[in-house]
Structure 1
Amino acid sequence: MDFSYLREYDREIMEAMEKEIKRQEEHIELIASENFVSIPVMEAMGSHLTNKYAEGYPG
């Protein structure tokens, strides 16, 4: 993913994210609820699709 805007806007947050990416790449995660998502899923979750919010039942 391209984090160029974040890198310029908040270097401290970007450094924390880079450390977390490195941790995820170098260690195995044995807790099922903390499995890692793929890059395509991360891109989709950070897109305009997440601007929608709904609660309850349709109709």
Structure 2
Amino acid sequence: MDYIEKYVRPVDPEIAEAINNEELRQGRKLELIASENFVSRAVMAAQGSVMTNKYAEGYPGKRYYGGCEFVDIAESLAIE
């Protein structure tokens, strides 16, 4: 993962190494645990996006805090 090398390793090389080792482990072994599945690079990128910075408790259109209009859009798309 290029972003790990570019952004994580300079700040915390040990965490970067752990992430890289986990990626290698997942590529070598088949886990038969339903909750452990493979997501696409697009999903990993989305999870690492600015949406991670937003606390959005509640449901789309009925949040406890303001400024969640784009989170509402993303969550509504996921529900569809």
User: TM-score normalised by the shorter chain: which range applies?
Assistant: 0.7 to 0.9
5+ residue gaps, structure 1, are none
Deviation at 1:46, TM superposition (A): 0.4
* Alignment of structure 1 residues 1-59 onto 2, 5 Å: 1=1, 2-3=3-4, 4-57=6-59, 58=62
Identity of aligned residues (%): 58
Backbone CA RMSD of aligned residues: 1.5
5+ residue gaps, structure 2, are 64-80
- Give the alignment's TM-score, normalised by structure 1: 0.83
CA deviation string 1:3-59 (max 9, x = no partner): 212111111111111110000001112111111211110000100122222223416
Question: What's the secondary structure of 2:9's corresponding residue?
Answer: helix
Poorly superposed stretches of 4+, deviation over 6 Å: none
Q: Select the structure that is richer in helix.
A: 1
Name the count of aligned residue pairs: 59
Q: Select the structure that is richer in strand.
A: 2
- Give the alignment's TM-score, normalised by structure 2: 0.64
